Every structure is written in structure tokens, then in C-alpha cells.
Amino acid sequence: MTIKKMTQIDMKNQRVLIRSDLNVPIENGIIQSEARILAALPAIKLALQKNAKVIIMSHLGRPKEGLYTKEYSLLPIFEYFKKKFNQTKIYFSNNFLKDIQLNAGEIAILENVRFNEGELKNSKVLSKKYSNLCDIFVMDAFASAHRKQSSTYGIGEFVKIACAGPLLINEMNALKYALKKPKRPMVAIVGGAKVSTKFNILHTLSKIADTIIVGGGIANTFLAIDYNIGKSLHEPNFIFEAKKLRNKCNIITPIDSRVGKKFCKTEKSTIKSPSNILADEEIMDIGDQTIQKIINVLKNAQTIIWNGPVGVFEFPNFRKGTEMIAKTIANSSAFSIAGGGDTLSVIDMFNIHNNISYISTGGGAFLEFIEGRKLPAIKMLEKNFKNILDNE
């Protein structure tokens, strides 16, 4: 099935509602990472070039639905946009479930959609209200494309025209390129805290990747198959599944780890083999032998998929594993695709944006796409396109 692209539509003097992903880290009103905002800009600029009346909506964080919380307001993003588009009239609306008056070439940024009752449950009433704001809906938030919510899915039932923005198109094309006919060897790095949330992706990757490298709490669950790993974060209920997976594919697990006794920023690290970890110690990074083993594998890779850090990279003494892997990927000639919130933070930390072939803004959507699932937002766009054809 085909979807309509934003580039194919005449938007002159039309009210164009863009669902962007502006879910960026903000501390004390200051944006900590611009990555997702920068990725959202091409769609907004394209709408302005087409002389549209541009309305932008997004979620931010996980506020209690229906309740305004200053911590989750998009006001800092509005201030950012005012500087970015200093020649354009920009408005901020915190009460936008009514008609918005704009001239062509102007922008309105709407308050956090998750302040609206019914957003998460894909309320038809709310979806209809969103649709009344626009003539054309642009879905450009790949990171939310796996969520069946009013602003990402439900609105498509009521708008006449729903189309895909450039970010959404680019994300899908890059992932298809990496997955359909990857250059080999293909290496996948899967880090993070919980193996349970990534078991489907591990199973999928086991069928297409030549080597899988696991890190973080996921790696600890694999280590727990054979070792007592102290108080390290892992999931005992998934040890049996991890063993079955390890037996059928090439999974690299740590041969040494950096451990500490306290989970804090100043904790010192000690390198130990898995068999020597004490009951009061916890694994928080990979050790030097493991780092070298992984570097050797990555140097030979032709395709690299990277999702998640391999340790507690926020703590200086437990950062080395993630840093060395990140820099090795950045220096590689392989086609590399990286995705997930923590992965974006790592890329920011080591300033390697220009050295990754493609950086996906998605976390859950990134994983679900790799698993082979059709994302709800894509289904919505396909259905809308079919309706357009049926009505012509």
C-alpha cells in the first residue's frame, strides 16, 4: 500500500498540522539536546516554503493526562523556535482545541498534547477536535509512530488528507536499507536495562545479524545463565529464554566487567571476570578485554545497528565501554544506523553526529520497525491514502 508524501501536496494557504517529535530533555527550562528538534525542522521549513499556515504539535515527557504541569510545557521549545525562525511570526497556544487564526507563512506551536484528556487512549472526540484544526495533517513523528494515540493515529480517521513528512519517510527508507539487503558482516548492538523489553528484537536480529553484542542489564541476564553476578541489574525470569537464544545464534557477552558497590556518580570501578563478582557488587560497564573483543568485531563489520549503551555511561567511571564502542562505530566505514533515546544522548555526549550514517529519532518505533511490525501511524496513512483514491 502507498502513502501520500508531504512533498506531493499543494499547501498554499492551507492549515497544515504537523505532528512533530519535540520530546527533548529539558532541565530548568533549558533544552539539553536539540537532536529531535533539528530532525523536525525540514517538515516545518517545507510547509513554510509551500506558503502554508503551519501548526505544530508534539508531546513532551509523561505528564498526568489532563493536568497541566510546568515541567512538561512546550514553552521552552516555543522560545527555541522564536530564535530559530526569527523572521517568522510564531505563536504559542495553550488552549488550542478551537480554531486557530493564522496567516500563510506563520507558525503556531501547540501546548503538550498529553495535557489533553483522551490523548493516550486515542479518544475519538479528541481526534475529531484535532482534525478540525487543519486542512492537511502531516505525520512526521517517527519516534511516536508506534503509538496508537489521538495525535498520531486517531486524527487520520477524520482528516481529508493525511501525509508523511520527510523525517518519517527518511526513517523508513534508512531502516529498510539496513535490513533488507545489508552488507555483511552485519553486527547489532543491543544495550539497555531490560532484556524483557527487547527479547522480540533479539529474536528478529538473531535471524538477520551475523553477530549480536549485548550490554547493560540485558548482558547481565545472559551472564546470569552461568554466573552469580551479585546485585547486578538483571531479570531472573528471562534467564531460560536467554539461554535458548544464546544457544542458537552468535551473541557476544562480557568476558570481564566494571563493577562497583554503590550505584552513584562517584563510585570507583574495578574490573573483574564474571566468576569473581561478589554478592555486594554490581556490574555497571564492560571491562577492557570485552571492549577489545567488541572493537575487533566492529572493525570487520559492513553494517552496524546500534540501540542502547552497554553501561551506566552517565557515571564517568562506568563510561568507557559505551565511549569506546561509540567512537569505533563513528570511525567505521560500515553503514551504521543508531536509534533510541539513550543512544541519542551518547551520540550527543561524544559529538559523533556526523560520523553515523543514519541517526534514528525513534526508540520503541525503531525497535518495532526492525521487528517487522507495521507501525500504527503507517497503517493510518495507508488507509487515508486509500480513502483519497476511492473518493477521486
Q: Please determine, for residue 195, whether its predicted confidence score (pLDDT) is greater than 90.
A: no
User: Which grid coordinates belong to 361?
Assistant: 529519532
342 is in an annotated binding site: yes
167 is in an annotated binding site: no
Average pLDDT, rounded, for the chain: 92
Helix (H, G, I), strand (E, B) or coil at 147: coil
The Cβ of residue 240 has, within 10 Å, a number of other Cβ atoms equal to 10
Task: Name the residue ranges covered by the structural domains of the chain.
Answer: 6-166+374-390, 184-333
The model's confidence at residue 10, banded by pLDDT at 50, 70 and 90, is very high
CATH number for the region 184-333 comes to 3.40.50.1260
Q: Does 159 or 345 have the greater pLDDT score?
A: 159
How far is it, in rounded angstroms, from Cα 194 to Cα 219? Answer: 9
22 is in an annotated binding site: yes
Identify whether the C-beta of residue 367 lies closer than 8 Å to the C-beta of residue 198: yes
CA distances from 110 to 58, 70, 114, 186, 221 (A): 8, 14, 11, 42, 43
The structure's pTM equals 0.83
What value does the mean pLDDT take over residues 180-194?
89
36 is in an annotated binding site: yes
* DSSP states along 213-229: EE-HHHHHHHHTTTS--
DSSP 85: T
343 is in an annotated binding site: yes
What is the rounded end-to-end Cα distance, in angstroms, of the chain? Answer: 17
List, for residues 81-123, the tens digit of each pLDDT value. Answer: 999 998 899 999 887 666 788 999 999 999 999 999 999 999 9
23 is in an annotated binding site: yes
287 is in an annotated binding site: no
The model's confidence at residue 309, banded by pLDDT at 50, 70 and 90, is very high
246 is in an annotated binding site: no
CA distances from 20 to 37, 59, 144 (A): 8, 8, 9
389 is in an annotated binding site: no
Residue 361: what pLDDT? Answer: 84
The answer to whether the 6-166+374-390 and 184-333 domains have the same CATH topology is: yes
- Dihedral (CA of 123, 129, 135, 137) sign: negative
- Residue 67 phi, psi dihedral angles, 5° rounding: -125, 120
Q: Is 111 left (phi over 0), alpha (psi -120 to 50) or beta?
A: beta
74 is in an annotated binding site: no
340 is in an annotated binding site: yes
21 is in an annotated binding site: yes
Q: Please determine, for residue 322, whether its predicted confidence score (pLDDT) is greater than 90.
A: yes
List, for residues 355-392, the tens digit of each pLDDT value. Answer: 999 998 887 888 888 888 889 999 999 999 887 776 66
Query: Which neighbouring-strand residues pair with 27?
Result: 30
Residue 280: what pLDDT? Answer: 96
- Dihedral (CA of 273, 275, 276, 279) sign: positive
How far is it, in rounded angstroms, from Cα 10 to Cα 250? Answer: 50
CATH 3.40.50.1260 fits 6-166+374-390, yes or no: yes
147 is in an annotated binding site: yes
